[in-house]
């Protein structure tokens, strides 16, 4: 499988995704076989590398990745892609700087996705940790995490994600209700940092809202 060297590290991007998987599993954000991680290989034509379906993220290795085309067709690798691959592809199409997309499932995020669903988004404002999100310079920033109903129809959901990204160009993540977070970055390291920032803030808000 072809690999694009990371701009800031001698490690390959798949090595970074493997490391993220182990850490996220340890912290309870990708328990069981939940979650999926991807990175961009090329934009024209669109090519991505993504974790195969049904793999425990705490035990990832180089054989657990698939290279896919823009229609989620397998070009290299063994196993099958998750149905959620279409959501990764939507993000790469609409977020021009996205190089990696990480999808996690956490207790606090799941609770908040239910608690704030009728408002349409989880809104976060006034916390210093917001400055860990790319481009955010002040704790006074208001981060909006759009909430999307999880229909299990991932073709339809990909269109909903497309619409949400067109209408909310500045967001750093989207949450599927009772499901999980999708966030992205210009590198695997940045996407991983965004997961960590969101999960910290979700827990803060969740504990305050008891």
What is the pLDDT confidence band of residue 1, given thresholds at 50, 70 and 90?
A: low
Instruction: Answer yes or no: are the C-beta atoms of 139 and 131 closer than 8 Å.
Output: yes
Residue-wise pLDDT for 59-106, tens only, equals 999 999 999 999 999 999 999 998 899 999 999 999 989 999 999 999
pLDDT given for residue 5 in this prediction: 44
Domain ranges of the chain: 13-208
Residue-wise pLDDT for 97-131, tens only, equals 999 999 999 999 999 999 999 999 999 999 999 99
Tell the CATH superfamily of the 13-208 domain. Answer: Class II aldolase/adducin N-terminal domain (3.40.225.10)
Q: If you ran DSSP here, which 8-state letter would residue 77 be given?
A: -
Q: How many CB atoms lie within 10 A of CB 26?
A: 11
Sheet holding 36-43: strands in order across? 74-76, 65-68, 46-51, 36-43, 100-104, 180-185, 173-176, 142-148, 121-125
Burial of 104 (0-12, 13-18, 19+ CB in 10 A): buried
Torsion of CA 120, 203, 110, 91, to 10 degrees: 60
SS3 (DSSP) at 146: strand
Burial of 155 (0-12, 13-18, 19+ CB in 10 A): exposed
Residue-wise pLDDT for 15-70, tens only, equals 999 999 999 999 999 999 999 999 999 999 999 999 999 999 999 999 999 999 99
pLDDT given for residue 2 in this prediction: 45
* Res. 133: pLDDT tops 70: yes
């Amino acid at each position: 499988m072809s690999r694009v060297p990371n701009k800031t590290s001698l490690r390959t991007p798949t090595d970074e995704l493997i490391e993220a998987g182990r850490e996220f599993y340890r912290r309870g954000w990708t328990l069981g076989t939940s979650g999926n991680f991807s990175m961009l290989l090329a934009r024209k034509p669109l090519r991505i590398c993504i974790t195969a379906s049904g793999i425990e993220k705490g035990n990832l290795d180089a054989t657990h990745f698939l290279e896919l085309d823009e229609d989620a067709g397998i070009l290299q690798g063994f196993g099958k892609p998750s149905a959620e691959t279409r959501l990764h592809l939507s993000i790469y199409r609409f977020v021009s700087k996205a190089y990696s997309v990480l999808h996690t499932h956490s207790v606090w995020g799941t609770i908040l996705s239910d608690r704030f669903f009728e408002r349409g988004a989880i809104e976060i404002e006034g916390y210093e940790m917001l400055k860990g999100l790319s481009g955010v310079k002040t704790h006074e920033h208001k981060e909006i995490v759009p909430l999307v109903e999880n229909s299990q129809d991932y073709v339809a959901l990909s269109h909903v994600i497309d619409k949400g990204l067109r209408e909310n160009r500045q967001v750093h993540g989207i949450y599927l209700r009772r499901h999980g977070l999708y966030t992205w970055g210009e590198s695997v390291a940045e996407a991983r940092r965004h997961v960590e920032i969101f999960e910290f803030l979700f827990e803060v808000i969740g504990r305050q809202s008891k």
